[in-house]
A and B are shown apart, each in its own frame.
Chain A
């Protein structure tokens, strides 16, 4: 600190700093106890074998080797943990819903952005699944997808489909069924509202200028709307990727049990099973860190790539 500062200035500054620490203490203690220390502990744990009822044993990179490496079996490369790779595939497969859902949300937002009478009623209805999301809706969807008495197959039979699929009971249909359910739930949700806000923020003078240049609705969308809302698209995309890699626990736990044949087990559900059903804390921590690394790399890549495409005002 500068010794020439008048004494009064020092004490005022010190007092400000002291009260700042006072304001920070409750939050900071929680931050230490439930975030920063656990992060370090988790990293250490990922290098151990630890069944929670015994003492942890340090095993170096053993967990990561089991999780990510391959070995030769009859001359063929086989992953050490084939389940993990299957579940990574499942997680990525389920994320097909992200771009479809974003396009759908944008289309709904474009329609809602026309100042029509009664639009609030529609907005409320479209948002209902988001508000009630949770176990109750998953129970409902499990029932809707029921192959014998579910509504979806009843409708399909009524319109002449003789043998509608057993949605959640076959490896082929289980993932598309979950994606479809996600689209129903997310179409009018947070993303749609964010798009709506972005659309309302585009100055109408831009559209007028485009009209003078003779642009039709299609040209106006691509020349004005799309670039103007690109920061929102970018924000939603990044948040969806981060969320997508960590999703699938509740659906698996309530609806499918991760099956059939592991076809709806995601990384997050695998992590839960490893940690809280098999109590294999070390291995589960390794899964968590691999998940973290994947999210980090993809977010940074999206950031770098997106930075070139996104137009900021």
Chain B
């Protein structure tokens, strides 16, 4: 029996390791290509050229100063796509959008979960029903609204339509429903109004749910592609995915620089995840429960 378990574990480790290597190889390939010279992406004699043949020290410019580096693809790509600008733009949109969405969702969820008012259940059902509707149904009219408001190519267009979410309201409402009412009653006896209860009782008790919603909303804004593509025209407003897309358009075959650019887009997110992966996993479990 013990022997069988051991063999089973070895088999599992083997399969998982093969899978892990498959997961990692594309990333490794990306990293290695990003430090190659353009002519080194071509294979020689039927083999695979994994490593750059030689590190070529070349002049490159960083912050207005000349530097000699073998990793020159990075500063070149950084300048080429104006990566700092893209990061700031993406971060600004994601941070403001996420804060707004979590705020409005938690307020509405509090009303739905804890307060009684005429029409509550009907309205909540209407919210639920709209979660079924594909984003592409509402996208065209919202685009027209943006156009009428002259908001095309503005931060408003990137942020404001994303400030309200039926899903966020639903998820937080489910979580709030499960909170014990004793603390709330105690706060009422102490003379707290509804704003006080929401702010000082409900929200502090809901940190896991709020963290989950914040994480996924932020990731949603950060990775959002179709909407920013539709409503941004000029360069300063482009978010990171859109900027990368234009980079591909201009350098379709310059893979060493493309990979350097992709590395710089991916690595910060990757590090953020590796150090916080426990919260991600817990969050997914929580959101999966909310959806059930």
- Please report A residues at the B interface, Cβ cutoff 8 Å: 13, 16-17, 19-21, 23-24, 26-31, 33-39, 41-42, 45, 52, 108, 111-112, 114, 116, 120, 122-129, 131-137, 139-144, 146, 148-149, 151, 154-155, 157-158, 184, 187-188, 190, 193-194, 197, 231-232, 235, 239, 242, 245-246, 249-250, 253-254, 268, 271-272, 275-276, 281, 284-285, 287-289, 291-292, 295-296, 299
Contacts and interface: CB of A to CB of B under 8 A. Distances in A.
A246 B225 CA distance: 14
B230 A276 contact: yes
Nearest to B33: A143
A146 B187 CA distance: 64
Given A111-B16, A253-B245, A24 B291 contact: no
Contact of A151 (B13, B26, B194): B26
Contacts of B25: 151
Contacts of B259: 139-140, 143
Interface string B119-142: 010010011001011111111111
A271 B23 contact: no
Contacts of B23: 125-126, 128-129, 184, 187-188
Interface stretch (B61-69, B203-211, B270-278): B270-278
Contacts of B240: 135
Interface in B195-248: 195, 198, 223, 225-226, 229-230, 240-241, 244-245, 248
Contacts of B60: none
Contacts of B195: 19
Contacts of B291: 235, 239
A33 B41 CA distance: 50
Contacts, number: 264
Contacts of A35: 130, 133, 138, 164, 166
B84 interface: no
B189 interface: no
A122 B266 CA distance: 19
A157 B45 CA distance: 10
B250 to A, nearest CB: 12
B48 A151 contact: yes
Contacts of B12: 111, 114, 116
B288 to A, nearest CB: 4
B281 A123 contact: yes
Contact of B126 (A36, A131, A250): A36
B264 to A, nearest CB: 9
B29 A158 contact: no
B75 interface: no
B22 interface: yes
A123 B140 CA distance: 39
A23 B198 contact: yes
Nearest to B9: A116
B198 A16 contact: no
B166 A126 contact: no
B277 A124 contact: yes
A235 B292 contact: yes
Contacts of A36: 126, 130
Nearest to B163: A30
Contacts of B134: 245-246, 288, 291-292, 295
Contact of A292 (B111, B117, B133, B225): B133
Given A20-B115, A27-B105, A272-B226, A136 B244 contact: yes
A190 B20 CA distance: 17
Q: Which of B22, B26, B248 has the most CB of A within 10 A?
A: B26
Given A235-B292, A288-B140, A135 B164 contact: no
5 contacts: A19-B193, A126-B19, A127-B273, A254-B245, A254-B248
Contacts of A246: 134-136
B107 interface: yes
A114 B9 contact: yes
A158 to B, nearest CB: 6
Given A24-B107, A194-B284, A39 B266 contact: no
Contacts of A295: 132, 134
A245 B198 CA distance: 38
Given A149-B43, A254-B248, A125 B130 contact: no
